[in-house]
Amino acid sequence: MVLFRGDIKCKSLQRRTSISVILPADNIHFLNDSEEIVPQPYKTLYLLHGLYGSDDIFLANTSIQKFAEDHGIAIVIPCGENSFYVDNEKAHAYYGEYVGQELLDITRNIFPLSHKREDTYIAGFSMGGYGAVRNGLKYSHNFSKIGMISAALITDDIADYVSDSNVLRSRDFYESIFGNLDGIKNSDMDPKFLIDNCEDLPNIFMACGRDDFLFDKNTDFYEFLKSRDVDATFIQGDGEHTWEFCDRYIKEFINLLAGGD
């Protein structure tokens, strides 16, 4: 496994931004004197962090590096700030365009990553789970599978929020991200709208803990997917909104990508 951490110049954000990239390029087992060669170009998972996170947070809180190595898959982790991975026109911070298209173009130019849709996936935890489904659907020509771990599917509710000192409940905060909250429904920031208007739907994997404060929202979205006959899997596991839960089920998603049971 090779780990690159650095920064790139990004047109969508009008600045430099950091990324972490895991490559299965040197899968050498010193103790048994063997080496497994993963054929290039690599299948690639674009992995989105949650609120308050950065591109290194999965490296610090999960075993994603080891699991990527074991399954021969590249993983690209961008820094999404607290953007929910949507396009903020006023700030000229087009995070949706960035993770949905420009990041793919940049990383494919630098690293030996597959350009094929069937080899390219997007997933995320919490805020990143919302970003994954929003951009996996909007840019469905790029992604064949979407992974949503404890996804922050909040867009049906935040229009009813009021001022609050807690960012998670603050109408002002969400307006700074999404703009007019009354305009989210039936827009490209509404996952249900995107499902109904996506011509080539990716497969969707969902996991959420039964004690997670987002469980009901994830259940509601899965029921919506079933009503639209979308190819989706929803694992309702034991657990809360924790890194332990994320670690367990991001592994499940990668196992599916690698062709496991």
The residues near 219 (Cβ < 8 Å, ≥ 6 apart) are: 208, 234, 236
User: What is the model's pLDDT at position 70?
Assistant: 87
Cα gap 39→173, rounded to integer Å:
45
Domain ranges of the chain: 2-257
Kindly report the CATH class assigned to 2-257.
alpha beta
Cα gap 63→192, rounded to integer Å:
32
Cα gap 70→72, rounded to integer Å:
6
Q: Is 118 left (phi over 0), alpha (psi -120 to 50) or beta?
A: alpha
User: Is 79's pLDDT higher than 80?
Assistant: yes
pTM: predicted TM-score of the whole model, two decimal places: 0.95
Cα gap 247→92, rounded to integer Å:
33
Least reliable range by pLDDT among 11-20, 30-39, 100-109, 209-218: 30-39
**SS3 state at 114:** coil
pLDDT digits (tens, 9 = 90+) for 205-258: 999 999 999 999 999 999 999 999 999 999 999 999 999 999 999 999 999 998
Q: Please report which helix (H) or strand (E) contains residue 34, including its range.
A: strand 34-36
Please check whether residue 48 is in contact with residue 99, taking contact to mean a CB–CB distance below 8 angstroms: yes
**SS3 state at 154:** coil
Cα gap 214→180, rounded to integer Å:
23
pLDDT digits (tens, 9 = 90+) for 84-124: 999 999 999 999 999 999 999 999 999 999 999 999 999 99
Please check whether residue 240 is in contact with residue 209, taking contact to mean a CB–CB distance below 8 angstroms: yes
